[in-house]
Amino acid sequence: MPVSGPIRVVVAKPGLDGHDRGAKVIARALRDAGMEVIYTGLHQTPEQVVDTAIQEDADAIGLSILSGAHMTLFAKVLELLKERDAEDIKVFGGGIIPEADIAPLKELGVAAIFTPGTPTGDVVTWVNTHVQQGVA
């Protein structure tokens, strides 16, 4: 059932990575495009990210990972969403993710990966196109 209002996106920095400039740039671009953005801050656990997404009735989770732990962190977030019957929340991400890891991440269920240098407009367009409330 479609929900009225703007797309709601949780932008999160899971793990030990302390560099959040990219996450803040994406959060601002999504906000400026009319979306509701919940930025979780640094050092979030996958459990905290999923809890926030569910509590905030988010349509998507955007993970920013620069630490090299992307395979583990994305997998854990997706696993927790499944356990919580919240697989309708799309997961996308970006950061320092080797090209060789993108296909395996998509096989896990990550909807999109944006690598360094991706224009913010491309991320906004992708979210507007692929994250629609009430659409599977």
**Mean pLDDT within 5-24:** 93
Cα separations in angstroms, 39 against 49, 52, 83, 136: 10, 10, 23, 24
Predicted model pTM: 0.94
Residue bearing tokens 């620069």: 66
- Length of the chain (residues): 136
Cβ pair 119, 126 in contact under 8 A: no
On the question of pLDDT at 42 being above 50, the answer is yes
Residue bearing tokens 């990972």: 65
Band (97; pLDDT cuts 50, 70, 90): very high
Q: For 106-136, write each residue's pLDDT tens digit.
A: 999 999 999 999 999 999 999 999 997 544 4
Tokens of 78: 């997706």
